[in-house]
A = this chain, B = another copy of it.
């Protein structure tokens, strides 16, 4: 397969102060992106295997900082840089999504997400 085995998108969105929905970063730089990228590199994952990508708003703002991993379509919320190693070792290498970080099904892409009230 020439495509990435896994393609990780980390939201770097930032909204103006006072916006009705929260932002995943404060200034467009993402310590979470940097941490996952560094952990993947340290683990020896090749750039042709896995890509840790920045993305625009992933629209799960109340759960930010958010991360989505494709092609699995596994969504993580409230991700901190300290979670990077576990995401890399467990999910990207061992293929086991990190359950404790997953956004609840009832919240993903749902206007009825209770956190959006």
Contacts and interface: CB of A to CB of B under 8 A. Distances in A.
A55 B54 contact: yes
Q: How often does this chain occur in the complex, in copies?
A: 2
A111 B48 contact: yes
A45 to B, nearest CB: 13
A17 to B, nearest CB: 21
Nearest to A108: B2
The size bracket of the interface on A is 20 to 34
B58 A56 contact: no
A62 interface: no
A48 B110 contact: yes
Contacts of A92: none
A89 interface: no
Interface of A: 2-4, 7, 9, 12, 47-48, 51, 53-59, 68, 70-73, 75, 105-106, 108-111
16 contacts: A2-B105, A2-B109, A3-B73, A4-B109, A7-B68, A7-B73, A9-B55, A47-B59, A48-B109, A48-B111, A53-B58, A54-B56, A55-B56, A70-B70, A71-B71, A71-B73
